[in-house]
Amino acid sequence: MTFSKKAVLLIYLLLISTALLAQKIVKSDTVKISGQTIFLHIPTKEEIKKEIRNVETSMKRDLRDYVADMQNQQFISDNVITDVSLEVIGDDVLDLKVIYEYSLKNDTMKFQTDDFPLGEYRVEQSNAALVTFSIIKKTMNGQLAKYTNAGQKISFTIQGNADAVALRGVIEYNGEFGPEINEECEVTGSTIRYKINEQTDIQSNYQLAFIRAYSVKNYILKNIEKFWITQNKFFYKALVSDFKGGKYRRVSIEIVIHDAFGSIIPK
């Protein structure tokens, strides 16, 4: 039986991967297979960090252009500031942490805002949030696509914010996210379990901040297809400001792509 050069090359690549897995090689320039030395460059952690810095620069540039376009279309005002940051974390197994956030330059419009109106919690009611999640979708299908594959483990930490305007009575929960929400949430350093349904409704600013965070999970799982094929875990934080105004009614999201570089670094 004879093999073509292409078949032989494929066999060698398979043998290389198998050998590296068996030896748990993290960094090497060569590997010997059947007495032959094969040259193979495996990126170092510093090389990966440099690559991610370049990706971050590209994402910031695209973000700036996209936000400017949304402002020109008057979907959001020039009061909105957005940002994205990337960080490689871990030692033996490297994760990629991506933080998407936005804020308002000032709060001149107390009751007309780019962000959540008083007492509202659905993502669709905040144009600034909608722009942010459009950016997440674009980057997950663009610059971050190579780091996220089917079955990838991803952790989301979502923070919901409320301002200091006191609730007048309760805010009705209309079952948008199911008959009952029953989730743990970090509040001022402690973990609290919130149960919200159509009977209890929303009774505090902390619950309002939490359900704003929870609405993010609901929105991204419906609208960002990339997360339909990944293994997702969600964490929530609720923060209530001491100040009043739309700039304190917002959400932010941190995404950690676990073992983000496994597809390009043999273990």
Task: Provide the residue ranges of all domains of the chain, joining segments of one domain with +.
Answer: 5-39, 45-257
Token digits of residue 122: 């659905």
Residues written for the chain? 267
The pLDDT value given to residue 246 = 84
Tokens 């919200």 sit at which residue? 196
pLDDT at residue 79 in the model: 86
The stretches of 73-166 forming alpha helices (DSSP H) are 127-140
List, in sequence order, the alpha helices (H) in 141-193: none
In angstroms, what is the C-alpha Rg of the chain?
23
pLDDT at 41: 63
Nearest to 12 by CA among 36, 28, 29: 36
State the pLDDT at residue 8.
Answer: 43
Q: Give 10-residue mean pLDDT values along the chain (267 residues).
A: 48 48 44 59 87 96 94 90 94 94 71 79 94 94 94 97 93 95 96 96 97 97 96 98 90 96 61
What pLDDT shows up at residue 197?
Answer: 96
SS3 235: strand
Report the chain's terminal Cα–Cα distance, integer Å: 33
Residue type at 138?
A: K
Dist CA 148 CA 245 (whole Å): 37
User: For position 103, what pLDDT does the model report?
Assistant: 85
**Whole-number pLDDT of residue 104:** 81
If we measure between CA atoms, which residue out of 224, 227, 214 comes closest to residue 253?
Answer: 214
Q: What is the pTM of this model?
A: 0.81
